[in-house]
Structure 1
Amino acid sequence: MKTMLKIKNLLHSIGLILITMQLAFAQQDSLSLSQTVKCYLTGSAEDVQSKTTPGLLLMGGSTDVKEAIAWFLTRSGGGDVVVIRSSGADGYNQYMFDMVPVNSVESIIIDSRAKAENDSIVAKIRAAEALFIAGGDQWNYVNYWKNSPTEDAINYLLNTKGAPVGGTSAGLAVLGSAYFSAQLGGVTSKEALGNPYHEKVALGHDDFLNIPLLENVITDSHYTQRERQGRHIAFMARLMQDFKHKKILGIGIDEKTALCIDQDGRGKVYGTNHVYFLKNDKRGPKTCVNGSPLTWNHHGQAVKVYKIQGNATGNGYFNATNWTFSGGNSYFYYVNNGVLY
């Protein structure tokens, strides 16, 4: 009996040792991962909890729009600002920190699925009073962040905490409920209009970020500078065709230009160029099939466009809840046999 009891106690001790070793290894792995995540902090490391005001900053890329970023930062209530990206470093830190009084600006490089699932990184995002998604490669954002705790944290800020969220270029591309993922790289307007099912026309819909004010909206950046109007129309046609939606909307934003939307859906345009609002009036394309050019005409009125010029104080008016406008001008786009008019 004594021998059996000794064996039993020995096995129990071995079990405890193994459990302790497993926990130690798990903690070591977690520490190792957290050490490899590049975080750049400017300001105080102390977490503050300020009163936030919801808002969306949609910026078209190239030179940032200072007035729009100041609008965005002010809505943090002076709290902690987090910038997330999959490449680069701390380029926004001092720029934002010096612009508007905030407790801190921290840039986090989330360049893998493992880092998007890291508890300490997710906690930093959830604790933020403002979140900005930098430019880069939107496929990295979709590939690494979609269906991860990072995605959940962003949606928590948007829909529960009510913190302002913004993005530029690739960061803008993922903010709509529909998005061009760039999984196989960029696509030109000529390629997309010539075949809306071109392999590079990689689209997602209702499976990433959840922003009610951008429901059924697909965005595009560097708009007229890179002649992206045609591909934007092709994206809309594909989404109508594939997802059977009667209404798909588009927001195209020029470089050096930004659209700021407040908590009630009211938007103004800042910067030196234009924002373009595209409505399809619930009439889908005539020909949108694999291997054939797009045709979307409807007597020259396939997609209605409203164009607003930006300025330093915020020009024009856009209502994201009902898509009404003022302070700009309107016209139509249509496509015949792969040619945009």
Structure 2
Amino acid sequence: MDIRDCANKSFLRLFAHLALVAAAVFTAFGVLAEPKPKGYEYYLTGNAVDAVLPQRPPSPSTLLMGGGPDVDAAFKWMIQKAGGGDFVVIRVRGADGYNQYVYDMGGIDSIETLVIKTREAASDPFVLDRIKKAEILFIAGGDQSDYINLWKGTALETAINELIGRNAPIGGTSAGLAVLGQFDFVALNGTVYSDDALADPYNRRMTLDREFLTAPGLNGVIADAHLDTRDRMGRLLTFLARTIQDQWVSVESARGIGLDVETALGIDNGIAIRLGVGSAYFLRPTIAPTVCQSGQPLTFRNVMVDRLSGSGSFHLGRWTSPGNGTTKYDLSAETGVLVSSQPGGGIY
């Protein structure tokens, strides 16, 4: 073997050894540590160049969707209110399931989905830039406790509120709907069923929060989805009682909104219209709860309900339907049991 080959091999062995030592040292000091995951995923369908619209929408608008099958007309309504532009979906779980579906409806420049999975990602400059440049924002379904734990109190919340201030349409379905009212059921200990809520308004699953977001038209409101298929009227009534009992809102200002599945409510400048196939329910108390205490069944009487099932509208500011477009009845909780003034005692 040539002496030069021996020298070269010795040098290579020495270099490899030094490289390993350097890597260990640098890693210990964080120099060559593995890059941290971004904490978000990003999906784009359509034009990557930011759309610039000639003007903002003239009035604020909110879209509430009751879960289950999505309502095509609801997404088209949001696009029409925005005048097009970039449609942004945010969520904690899932992927880009909305992208092609909404993009194929036409009328938008692009649709982007951000799966924002950590509090750090909720303050990421790229994430915030995409939110701030949106013309439409939609919060997907999932688990609303994720939205509270990961997004509340972050720069993402601030960016969403800035969008609302620019009259950009904002909407949500299921868990996304649940965080759009001034008051929210946030499911920090899992979901709660109507029977359990009525039996004890302060049971451990009755976790409420306030003022994460307040979409236009929803001051004083707590909202719920899947009302019909999951029999949630009882828990919505209990949520409403809690907001009063906990002195978050006065009897005069407390409101509840419930939506059936495959049903949406489009709210433009305080006027709500129904989209889809089910009903929307508007609840207004007339008196404070008689009994709303830990460990005791709820007694809460004479809650007025307006059920919007047709093509009419509902004025949220006046809490009335022009032209009597709703079915009106009263609901009460009597020691944890719902009682209705409708013929036959129907709750819905």
TM range (shorter): 0.7 to 0.9
Kept after mapping to 1: 8 A contact 2:65/2:263? yes
Which of 208, 224, 228 is matched with 1:220 structurally?
224
Greater displacement, 62-71 / 172-181: 62-71
Match of 2:206 among 201, 204, 214: 201
Question: What's the CA shift string for 1:67-116, capped at 9, x where partnerless?
Answer: 12101112222211100000010011011111022111000001111111
> Are 1:33 and 1:115, in contact at CA under 8 Å, matched by a contact in 2?
no
Deviates more, 1:49-58 or 1:150-159: 49-58
2: CA distance, partners of 1:210 / 1:190:
28
Deviation per residue, 1:20-53 (Å, 9 max, x gap): xxxxx89x99x8554x521010001101121342
SS at match of 1:48: coil
Q: SS of the counterpart of 2:104?
A: helix
Q: 5+ residue gaps in structure 1?
A: 1-24
Runs of 4+ in 1 over 3 A off after TM superposition: 31-34
Equivalent in the alignment of 1:49: 52
> CA separation in 1, counterparts of 2:316 and 2:37?
41
Alignment of 1:180-259 (within 5 A): 180-206=185-211, 208-243=212-247, 245-246=250-251, 247-259=253-265
Q: Say yes or no: does 1:296 pair with 2:300.
A: yes
Residue 10 of structure 2 corresponds to: none
Counterpart contact for 1:52–1:76, Cα < 8 Å: yes
SS in 1 for 2:120: helix
Opposite residue 282 of structure 2, the aligned amino acid is F
Instruction: Report the alpha carbon displacement of residue 211 of structure 1 after superposing the two structures with TM.
Output: 2.8
Q: How many residues align?
A: 303
- Contact 1:126–1:157 (CA under 8 A) maintained in structure 2: yes
User: Which residue does 1:308 correspond to in 2?
Assistant: 308
- Residue matched to 2:316: 320
Give yes or no for the alignment of 1:153 onto 2:159.
yes
Instruction: Give the % identical residues.
Output: 43
- Partner amino acid for 1:270? L
Larger radius of gyration: 2
Aligned counterparts of 2:262 and 2:51: Cα–Cα separation in 1: 32
Q: Tell me which residue corresponds to 1:37.
A: 40
Q: Tell me which residue corresponds to 1:21.
A: none
For residues 52 and 190 of structure 1, the distance between their equivalents in structure 2, rounded to whole angstroms, comes to 45
Is 1:280 matched up with 2:285? yes
The answer to which structure has the higher helix fraction is 1
After TM superposition, give the deviation of residue 224 of structure 1 in Å.
1.4
Aligned to 1:10: none
Under a length normalisation based on structure 2, what TM-score does the superposition of the two structures give? 0.84
Q: Distance in 1 between matches of 2:338 and 2:116?
A: 38
Q: 2:130 and 2:261 mapped to 1: Cα distance?
A: 30
Distance in 2 (CA, whole Å) between partners of 1:109 and 1:61 is: 19
Rounded Cα–Cα distance in structure 2 between residues aligned with 1:321 and 1:286: 27
User: What SS does the aligned partner of 1:233 have?
Assistant: helix
Cα deviations across residues 182-204 of structure 1 (Å, max 9, x unaligned)? 00000000000000001100001
State the superposition RMSD in angstroms: 1.8
Partner of 2:329: 331
Deviates more, 1:242-251 or 1:148-157: 242-251
Deviation by residue 1:253-302 (Cα, 9 ceiling, x = unmatched): 0000000011x211110111100000002x111011100001112xxxx2
